[in-house]
Structure 1
Amino acid sequence: MSASENTESRQHARIWLALLLAHLAALLALGAWVAQQLKPVNMQALHLDEGERLKCVSYAPFRLPGQTPFDPDLRISREQIVADLTELVRITECVRIYSVGQGLEQVPEIAGALGLKVLLGAWISSDLKLSKLDLDRAIDIANRHPATVATLIVGNEVLLRRERTAEQMRELIAYAQARTEVPITYADVWEFWVRNQSLASAVDRVTVHILPFWEDQPVAVENAVAHVAAVLDEVRQHFDKPVMIGETGWPSAGRQREASQPSRVNQARYIREFVRRAHDQGWDYNLIEAIDQPWKRRLEGTVGGHWGILDSTLTPKFPLAGAVAERESYTLPALATLAGAALCLLLAAAGGRARPATLRLATAAATGAVGALVAALHIEHARLAYRDVPEWSVLGLVALLAALVPLLLARWNASTPIPSAAAAWQTLRTRASARCSSNACALSLIRGVLLFAAAVAAVLLFADPRYRDFPTLLYLAPTLVFGVTGWTSVSRHAMEERLCASVLALASIARWLAEPANPQAIAWLLTCLVFALPFLRRPAREHQ
């Protein structure tokens, strides 16, 4: 072997070794994360007295695929409402509804037959005609079911949405007061009640929403119940009428907001601790919400659909006593890891004239294991997050391209640099196969597409972050491959790739600066920088 060949062989070995070490580190980190999710977390049990149930829970029946309150032609069947309330009567004394359209007008009759009370809502919006229609229906239902309807709630967060003024709400409340003997209230986030204290004279009690997760300064779950207590005390100082907590709860999935982390464990902890304190101190409350609402993901992202105590199949999401684990099984991640390692190992070992070096085989197995594990974790997230066919199609394509990277890497010859995406595309157009191996060209094109997609995602996450998840899992596996090969192999990058990389790096840094202590923001920042920085280094010479 000549000196140049020996040097090149050592360089290739360094590439495979760097890839192996990076993927082993990632595999250990991901394995530790999954193991942590499997660990049961001990927490305070919710010990209710004999026959005692939750005071009230928000109920919306739009839990099945395709059901949404935005469909004007949708009407929920009586059978579905009966099934839902029959399940809920086991855990609660009362349900809160927000409107009396689309079949919800049946709730008071069914609830009364089951022994449930109802907080009956009239939906008030900027549409004068529809608001008047819903209010008149609600008044009529309240008058027909006075033993069941505990309170008529005229409007929900109307001032927050800025669809009506406080004076307009006062007029609507007075209109209802003149037509029913049922107690009347208005519900809004606590800050808007404090800003509009004059509205209290129109209602029988003040109904405030206290949601630690959605506060302007998000609250960690360990401080959440204390925060609710402090807010409730502050609100009571402003009013001489009874105060009810109209909404409080915690999401089980979705984007972390600074210290507020959605999770099954945190949801269980918050519900248990809040309900116990509420019952001990005699708080009047309503939990949001009874059942997961997939349609709310359209408004609030992943987190919006996962506030339910029950999931959309009416299965309890956590027990009311005993330890709670975030994950109940390791089967899918474990099988995916083994399958990915085996597949890439076979691809690396098959088809070549010479037997691949042990280092290359080990690297192929490690990249396959990480790629498959990340894909499995991402599939779990996609089932919670993706809302419609376009999202499944576009993001599914990105996920598919990401999953192909370890497979192509298993067949890649490190002696063939990965060219720029523009050069690879030109090679394919001219069919100049001698200039670029098929695997190197494929890796290059996939890298270009994923870089562009990641840059777009980073810009969207920077510009409109409130309801967007951090897509770290979507890009993690290819980032490890291209981050290492970008630093260790000799290749050029086109101007377009440098531009996308610059956007990706800057947008991810800007997003992290807005919430520097958020672990999800940190993970996204690191993923973006590992992907982007190789494109921004000084160009190196290509192999001739």
Structure 2
Amino acid sequence: MSYRNEEYHAYNGLDFKEHSGIDFSTYSNTDDLKKLWRATLNKGMHGLCFSMYEDGQKPGDIITVEQVKRRIEIIKPYTQWVRSFSCVEGNEHIPRIAHQHGMKTLVGAWLGSDKEDNEKEIEGLIQLAKEGCVTIAAVGNEVLYRNDLPLEELLEYIKRVKEAVPHIPVGYVDAYYEFSVHPELVALSDVILANCYPYWEGCHIDGSLAHMQQMYGQAVHAAQGKKVIITETGWPSEGGSLRGAFSSEENAMKYFINTQAWASKANIETFYFSSFDESWKTGDEGDVGAYWGLWDKNEKIKYL
């Protein structure tokens, strides 16, 4: 997800004042903050978005079982769930290997404007689900945000997967506000899968947790009683800035600590973005795109 200048349909119906975040003024230096970050990471998290590509790789490259296995083994001690974004070009290895390691999976079929590619993704998702490797199925990721498909076609893909694997919860991932303006999506989905990024809305780090909570609150309001899962949230550790949002190691650590503390206390299922830095992600997102990981591009844990 990247910045887009538009109205966000802000919702103010939930009060999260009791979860206002950590008082970082008591952490007098960077070393103390790093210790708190590592302690938070070591406690583990609900879910983590899987970063597929090594330095020099990009979407379209075929990824091996060995590469996926190595990265799954790195993140396994820290997360219960793993989220994948596609079912082709080696992405299909992610839910299979995660399942072998006893992890739960949120498995996505990547949909776009190419109908042949969409067919491969949908068939791949259905196959993985029938193998028992899918805990939750996500039919598409930010398709409406990118304007890749009309709503009617997206709904047909969701219906198809629901009919093929009726024993598995099926949803669709998009920016939190899309569910407010597309009640048809909510009605068809078993679970609401919302991406929440204060950074991409130019929010200063000091208000980022409260802003993310309001994003979640808007999705809850739109969900009409259905479960809401935060499928992506994170903060870049390097790169540029967007209005009041600045990328830095300190801000990335603070955001991770706050979101994990709040999600744990409020029992909100959250997938953090992301596991590893990926150098290829510098197109629409600019230089910050390459620095969203908890591990760097060389698979070394950050902030040691």
TM-score by length of 2: 0.85
- The structure showing larger relative contact order (alpha-carbon pairs under 8 Å, at least 6 residues apart) is 2
Residue 80 (structure 2) pairs with residue 89 (structure 1): no
- 1:264 aligned partner, one-letter code: E
Residue 30 (structure 2) pairs with residue 40 (structure 1): yes
Taking the aligned partners of 1:212 and 1:313, their CA distance within structure 2 comes to 27
Give the corresponding residue for 2:21. none
Contact in 2 for aligned 1:41/1:265 (Cα 8 Å) = no
Deviations 1:195-232 (A, max 9, x none): 112211111011111100111xx111111111111221
Q: RMSD of aligned C-alpha atoms?
A: 1.8
- 1:116 aligned partner, one-letter code: M
Taking the aligned partners of 1:177 and 1:289, their CA distance within structure 2 comes to 28
Taking the aligned partners of 2:273 and 2:150, their CA distance within structure 1 comes to 25
Contact in 1 for aligned 2:179/2:223 (Cα 8 Å) = no
Contact in 1 for aligned 2:229/2:268 (Cα 8 Å) = yes
- 1:306 aligned partner, one-letter code: Y
Give the corresponding residue for 1:265. 250
- 1:237 aligned partner, one-letter code: H
- C-alpha displacement of 1:271: 0.2
Taking the aligned partners of 1:220 and 1:255, their CA distance within structure 2 comes to 13
Give the corresponding residue for 1:354. none
Matches within 5 A, 1:441-456: none
**Correspondent of 1:98 among 65, 81, 85:** 85
Query: What SS is found at the alignment partner of 1:297?
Result: coil
Matches within 5 A, 1:408-447: none
Residue 123 (structure 2) pairs with residue 136 (structure 1): yes
- 1:233 aligned partner, one-letter code: G
- 1:113 aligned partner, one-letter code: Q
Residue 299 (structure 2) pairs with residue 309 (structure 1): no
Instruction: Pick the structure with greater CA Rg.
Output: 1
**Correspondent of 2:209 among 225, 229, 232:** 225
Contact in 2 for aligned 1:123/1:154 (Cα 8 Å) = yes
Taking the aligned partners of 2:303 and 2:183, their CA distance within structure 1 comes to 38
Query: What SS is found at the alignment partner of 2:245?
Result: coil
- 1:45 aligned partner, one-letter code: L
Deviations 1:431-484 (A, max 9, x none): xxxxxxxxxxxxxxxxxxxxxxxxxxxxxxxxxxxxxxxxxxxxxxxxxxxxxx
Give the corresponding residue for 1:206. 192
Query: What SS is found at the alignment partner of 2:85?
Result: coil
Taking the aligned partners of 1:103 and 1:235, their CA distance within structure 2 comes to 32
Q: Which has the higher helix share?
A: 1
- C-alpha displacement of 1:42: 4.5
Taking the aligned partners of 2:90 and 2:168, their CA distance within structure 1 comes to 22
Give the corresponding residue for 1:526. none
Residue 178 (structure 2) pairs with residue 182 (structure 1): no
Give the corresponding residue for 1:54. 45
- C-alpha displacement of 1:234: 2.3
- 2:138 aligned partner, one-letter code: I
Residue 271 (structure 2) pairs with residue 286 (structure 1): yes
Deviations 1:359-389 (A, max 9, x none): xxxxxxxxxxxxxxxxxxxxxxxxxxxxxxx
Matches within 5 A, 1:482-521: none
Give the corresponding residue for 2:109. 122
Runs (4+) of structure 1 exceeding 6 A deviation are: none
Matches within 5 A, 1:232-271: 232-240=216-224, 241-271=226-256
Taking the aligned partners of 1:93 and 1:250, their CA distance within structure 2 comes to 21
- C-alpha displacement of 1:63: 1.9
**Correspondent of 1:68 among 58, 62, 75:** 58
Give the corresponding residue for 1:163. 148
Taking the aligned partners of 1:41 and 1:198, their CA distance within structure 2 comes to 48
Contact in 1 for aligned 2:180/2:219 (Cα 8 Å) = yes
Taking the aligned partners of 2:163 and 2:294, their CA distance within structure 1 comes to 37
Query: What SS is found at the alignment partner of 1:298?
Result: coil
**Correspondent of 2:98 among 89, 93, 111:** 111
TM-score by length of 1: 0.48
Taking the aligned partners of 2:159 and 2:112, their CA distance within structure 1 comes to 17
- 1:214 aligned partner, one-letter code: W
- C-alpha displacement of 1:107: 1.5
Q: Percent identity?
A: 26
Contact in 2 for aligned 1:143/1:182 (Cα 8 Å) = no
Taking the aligned partners of 2:128 and 2:238, their CA distance within structure 1 comes to 36
- C-alpha displacement of 1:100: 1.1
Taking the aligned partners of 1:306 and 1:76, their CA distance within structure 2 comes to 21
Query: What SS is found at the alignment partner of 1:95?
Result: strand
- 2:127 aligned partner, one-letter code: D
Taking the aligned partners of 1:234 and 1:130, their CA distance within structure 2 comes to 32
Contact in 1 for aligned 2:84/2:95 (Cα 8 Å) = no
Taking the aligned partners of 2:280 and 2:264, their CA distance within structure 1 comes to 31
Matches within 5 A, 1:239-388: 239-240=223-224, 241-318=226-303
Q: Which has the higher strand share?
A: 2
Taking the aligned partners of 1:82 and 1:153, their CA distance within structure 2 comes to 22
Q: Which runs of 5+ in 2 are unaligned?
A: 1-28
Query: What SS is found at the alignment partner of 2:107?
Result: strand
Residue 67 (structure 2) pairs with residue 80 (structure 1): yes
Contact in 2 for aligned 1:55/1:94 (Cα 8 Å) = yes
- C-alpha displacement of 1:194: 1.3
With 306-315 and 108-117 compared, the bigger mean Cα shift is at 108-117
Taking the aligned partners of 1:42 and 1:256, their CA distance within structure 2 comes to 25
- C-alpha displacement of 1:298: 3.0
